[in-house]
Amino acid sequence: MTSLFSSPGRWLKGNLHTHTTNSDGHLTPAEIGRVYRDAGYDFLAITDHGRFTDPGPVQDAGLVAIPGMECHAGTNAAGELHHVVALGISEAVRVEPEHGLQGLIDAIREANGHAVLAHPYWHGCTSADLLEADGWFALEVYNQVCQAFIARGESSETWDQVLGAGRQVWGLAVDDCHHAGPDIFGGWVWVKTDEPTAPGIMQSLLSGRFYASSGPKILSVERDGDRVRVRCSPAQTIALIGKGSSGHACHAPVGELIEEAELDWGRARDYVRLVVRDERGRGAWCNPEFV
């Protein structure tokens, strides 16, 4: 976490979950590419339901395109289909009727892709569901369309349960944009890389060299022994979270905001992740470091 902010490299902003008219989205691939480019994004993954959309129009719009697809199979604890986003695929994922969650993840890997467990809180996917499966590298800690329409966008608790079980997986924030209305520009990742290409961005994603945000910006994280100094955009809360009841939070006085905090790393057990919360409750989530 500390090395992410002190090491060299460029910060690139991207959205890794988007739908187009090729599934149930309202804009064409070319239109969605231009909309994100005009908003200052550097990369975009189109992830249509059950269909591999050609990323060419996104590249033509001037963005780095991460080839992707959202796949569905099996049944979760709430009796709903699993939703898994495949990133970095070289071909369409072949989903078979008999696939459960593990079969689907294996099919994504066969398509040279990397699996993200989408919006767990939104569709009632529990940490027990997630822990049954191997071979996935991230979950969506924040999903804007789920927040916009039923206020179930954040899956922090599920993430903490999975981390607490010893799984080293990362947290993405995404739009899952369908309508380009309240479901756009609400969740993104800042990736650190020297190589602004799809393989370069995928490499940073897989190694956790990014942080997720729905609003706040993290400027620096400096660690000296057990003391961690965090600087960020104006925030209500800056906190370190660890396994179980462990962690350390710093809050702004009522009616004020803070732009830095000194936290005690030693109070987090087994793993440490940083979260910044602004005055509207929007978050910035760093990936965990295991201790």
Kindly list the residues in this chain that would bind Zn ion in the complex (CB under 5 A).
70, 83, 118, 176
Residue 118 or 205: the one with the smaller Cβ distance to Zn ion is 118
* 75: Cβ contacts below 8 Å, ≥ 6 apart: 81, 82, 100
Among residues 208, 211, 206, the alpha carbon closest in space to that of 188 is found at 211
Give yes or no for a contact between 241 and 275, defined as CB atoms under 8 angstroms apart.
yes
Tell me how far apart the alpha carbons of residues 120 and 130 are, in angstroms, rounded to a whole number: 9
Residue 70 or 160: the one with the smaller Cβ distance to Zn ion is 70
* 10: Cβ contacts below 8 Å, ≥ 6 apart: 192, 193, 194, 196
| Least Cβ distance, residue 143 to Zn ion (angstroms) | 8
Determine whether 290 is exposed, middle or buried from the number of CB atoms within 10 Å of its CB (0-12, 13-18, 19+). Answer: exposed
- Site of tokens 């996104």: 58
Residue 48 or 160: the one with the smaller Cβ distance to Zn ion is 48
| Least Cβ distance, residue 108 to Zn ion (angstroms) | 14
| Least Cβ distance, residue 87 to Zn ion (angstroms) | 13
| Least Cβ distance, residue 187 to Zn ion (angstroms) | 12
Residue 154 or 176: the one with the smaller Cβ distance to Zn ion is 176
